[in-house]
Amino acid sequence: MKGFEAFVGVNFLTMLAAWLNLLILFLLLKKFLFKPIKNMIDSRQKEIDDMYEDAEKSKSEASDIKSEYEKKLENANIESEEILKNAMRRAKLREEDILRDANEKAARTMERAYEQVELEKKRAINEVKDEVATMAIGIASAVIERDVDETEHKALIDTFIENMGDGND
- Point out which residues bind another protein (CB under 8 A): 1-19, 21-22, 24-26, 28-30, 32-38, 40-41, 43-44
The answer to whether 133 and 152 are in contact (CB under 8 A) is: no
Q: Closest distance between another protein and the C-beta of residue 78, in Å?
A: 53
| Closer residue to another protein in complex, CB, 22/117 | 22
Q: Closest distance between another protein and the C-beta of residue 54, in Å?
A: 18
| Closer residue to another protein in complex, CB, 1/143 | 1
Count other C-beta atoms under 10 Å from residue 162's C-beta: 11
Q: Closest distance between another protein and the C-beta of residue 13, in Å?
A: 6
Angle between helices 150-168 and 35-144 (to 10 degrees): 130
Q: Closest distance between another protein and the C-beta of residue 46, in Å?
A: 12
Radius of gyration over alpha carbons of the chain, in Å?
64
| Closer residue to another protein in complex, CB, 33/55 | 33
Determine the Cα–Cα distance for residues 163 and 169; give it in Å rounded to an integer.
10
